[in-house]
Structure 1
Amino acid sequence: MSALSLEGLARHAWLGRTPSARALRMTLVPAAAAYRAAVGLRNYLYDRGWLAARRVPAWVVSVGNLTVGGTGKTPAALWLAERLAARGHRVGIVARGYRKRRPGPVVVGVEGRALVTAEDGGDEAVMLARRFAGPVVTGKRRHEAAALACARFALDTIVLDDGFQHRALARDADLVLVADDAAADWCLPAGSLREPPGALRRARAVLAVGDAAASVPPGTVVFRGRLAPLAAVRARDGAFHAEPLDALVGRDVVAVAGIARPERLVETLGRLGARVRDVLRFPDHHAYTAADARRIAAAARAGTLVTTEKDLTKLERFPGLEALVALRVDLEVEDEAALLDLLEPAA
């Protein structure tokens, strides 16, 4: 069974919209209970100090969520890093670099330039490196990547992308994103929750993205934000070049998405006024092949090919996809100054 069909089967079970889906989900409930107990024990051990969290010589702010799949963590990490840098801090971004081939910590980019490929550094990290003026470093062991970033670039602030559950690196503040997710009634594998909602007590602040209803523990500070389309992006000469969104308005397009929630790309294109004629779905963090590229190129007969920036980092190398366009999105936050005040290092 392919990764895409496994993802679809899991989502089908989690949503429970048919009797067969609900029956499948119920078979997973005992495993979900065991998973939740294991997560609770792990957090208890960290809270008591029996599992050690390693510190680095910088203020660490984690950006994360409670569920698997896309809530906008990476755009939020970029937003936070840019805003803290604008306030005068020496900021770097540290991420896991999911599915990267190169072992150990990897300096993915500096000064808005990617130094490695998505295959070596991770697709989201390369996307961040193309957009952020500071260093981007990846590593499965985030404390090693953060220590390298601090030593090499003299940072005073680390933004940890997708780090809420990675407690081995001590942090000074957690920003947790929540978004509408009908599958978030159960922990894995019966639902999409990595942790139960009570884990939000660890958060300095919660950011509700879009129209999400934020059900949070008492005393939790909640802000609101949304992901907004910013530009159309093309890859040329090893760099991304932004163009106005007007080029997509009224156009026939084919959406190409290797992300957790491809429907969000489709919905955004529709709101922009593009006519989505077809959708090519691939698993999240998909490693594209030449055969995939040929399939995508053939689909251009139905309209302009539009993908995500994360996917473009992996597809730009294939011949025949020179016309591929990526939709760039940015995070917009209400009362952003107040949120930054909560997350910023103390003066």
Structure 2
Amino acid sequence: MRRLEPELFLRLVRGELRNPAAAVARMGLGAAAIPYGLAVRARNLAFDLGWKPSSRASVPVVSVGNLTLGGTGKTPMVEWLARWYRRRGVRVTLLSRGYGHGGGINDEGLVLEENLGDVPHLQDADRVSLARIAVEELEAELIVLDDGFQHRRLARDVDIVMLDALDPFGLGRLFPRGLLREPIGSLRRASAVVLSRADTLDGEPLAAIRRAVDRVAPGRPFLLTRHAPIDLLDADGGSGPVADLAGKRVAAFCGIGNPEGFRRTIRPLCGEVVDLRVFPDHHRYDARDVAELTEWARRSGADLALTTQKDSVKLRTSTLGAVPLRVLRIGLEITEGLEALEGILAPLVRPVPGG
């Protein structure tokens, strides 16, 4: 089967393409989801019954993951956790697979490296081996596992699962017919469920998500968070207030898992978002991209161009021609459920001898 471009694939599975060819394609994707689902369930059962072993690190492991494809706010959550433990004097190491790294640290890793200068970050598909390196060579006292919900080879003490309020359950269908990486019932393995971008919902839609989670994972802490704009950065290390966007005509672009989430974050901050250009997740920008973006920004008539920190670490430029380029740095703000989460995290902090 010919590989679909991400944007076309999303339009197809969401039902936005309505023609006979699209209908047939969705039927084919639905058929492909059946063996995928059987394989996922068989793998999880093997781990649940101990037929597939999980290796336990000699220090606590906190995993951050999700149920769906695309961006759910895992990286801001990982950063929040690392800061929480560092404030308590715990030596933390981050582990991730490193999707799209191409032999070096990937874009998400570069963002974490930029924001967490005192927290080592290791990337490799074999996170069991990385855990040993973290403990033996980096003297880690706690490991934060990024995108670890499906990586069951490494046992964890806390499993945090992120849901995105814009599409918490991946269209309710398993990949490739939908965006679910595994069935919703897998939330039973979660220690806590975190709803990102919860500020985009209120009333019944928010209550419906809470009820759906409680049906499959009763009693789990359910946290509400928002993507809180922190500041505006440039490639030269400068920082300015988010208020500088007020009244500006902004041309935005991104290559992230959830571009609609970026749009919703920036829209109330600007005078007008004149355009949003979307690239595939983990897109590697080259000279041609920069030239095209420069021309695009010029034609848009924008006062400035805006992108994400994940994109900027691969561009390292403060302008697109005559148009200034700024980076919106985002942090995770927990608006409900902080006390419950801290009750799960705190027991993993080892007491200081003689304290």
TM-score using structure 1 length: 0.88
2:235 alignment partner, SS class:
strand
Give 1:140-159 correspondences, 5 Å limit.
140-159=125-144
Two-structure CA RMSD over aligned residues (Å)? 2.2
Give 1:57-76 correspondences, 5 Å limit.
57-76=58-77
What letter is aligned with 1:80? L
Give 1:322-341 correspondences, 5 Å limit.
323-333=324-334, 334-341=336-343
CA contact (8 A) 1:269 1:275 kept: no
| 257, 260, 264: which one aligns with 1:260 | 257
2:5 alignment partner, SS class:
helix
Q: Is 2:267 the counterpart of 1:270?
A: yes
What letter is aligned with 1:255? A
Q: 2: CA distance between counterparts of 1:342 and 1:28?
A: 39
Give 1:3-82 correspondences, 5 Å limit.
6-20=5-19, 21-82=22-83
CA contact (8 A) 2:61 2:156 kept: yes
The equivalent residue for 1:343 is 345
**Deviation (angstroms), 1:299:** 2.5
Q: 1: CA distance between counterparts of 2:258 and 2:24?
A: 24
| 286, 291, 302: which one aligns with 2:288 | 291
Q: 2: CA distance between counterparts of 1:136 and 1:88?
A: 17
Q: 2: CA distance between counterparts of 1:337 and 1:128?
A: 25
CA contact (8 A) 2:297 2:320 kept: no
Q: Which runs of 5+ in 2 are unaligned?
A: 351-355
Q: 1: CA distance between counterparts of 2:137 and 2:66?
A: 29
The equivalent residue for 2:353 is none
**Deviation (angstroms), 1:297:** 1.7
Q: 2: CA distance between counterparts of 1:257 and 1:273?
A: 16
CA contact (8 A) 2:161 2:193 kept: yes
Give 1:1-347 correspondences, 5 Å limit.
6-20=5-19, 21-102=22-103, 120-132=104-116, 133-179=118-164, 180-181=166-167, 183-209=170-196, 210=198, 211=201, 213-214=209-210, 215-216=212-213, 217=216, 218-236=218-236, 240-301=237-298, 302-303=301-302, 304-316=304-316, 323-333=324-334, 334-344=336-346, 345=348, 347=350
Q: 1: CA distance between counterparts of 2:187 and 2:24?
A: 30
Q: 2: CA distance between counterparts of 1:279 and 1:335?
A: 33
Q: Deviations over 1:46-94 (max 9, x none)?
A: 1122112222221101001100001101101111111122123211211
CA distance change for structure 1 residues 271 and 23 in 2, over 3 Å: closer, same or farther? farther
CA distance change for structure 1 residues 227 and 22 in 2, over 3 Å: closer, same or farther? farther
Q: Which runs of 5+ in 1 are unaligned?
A: 103-119
1:324 alignment partner, SS class:
strand
Q: 1: CA distance between counterparts of 2:176 and 2:258?
A: 18
1:13 alignment partner, SS class:
helix
CA distance change for structure 1 residues 234 and 73 in 2, over 3 Å: closer, same or farther? same
CA contact (8 A) 2:319 2:325 kept: no
* Stretch deviating more after TM superposition (126-135 or 329-338): 329-338
1:62 alignment partner, SS class:
strand
CA contact (8 A) 1:15 1:183 kept: no
CA contact (8 A) 1:93 1:135 kept: yes
CA contact (8 A) 1:255 1:265 kept: no
CA contact (8 A) 1:306 1:327 kept: yes
CA contact (8 A) 2:69 2:170 kept: no
For the pair shown, which has the larger CA radius of gyration, 1 or 2?
2
TM-score using structure 2 length: 0.86
* Stretch deviating more after TM superposition (208-217 or 328-337): 208-217
What letter is aligned with 2:180? L
1:121 alignment partner, SS class:
coil
CA contact (8 A) 2:293 2:320 kept: no
CA distance change for structure 1 residues 241 and 267 in 2, over 3 Å: closer, same or farther? same
CA distance change for structure 1 residues 231 and 346 in 2, over 3 Å: closer, same or farther? closer
**Deviation (angstroms), 1:100:** 1.5
CA contact (8 A) 1:13 1:190 kept: no
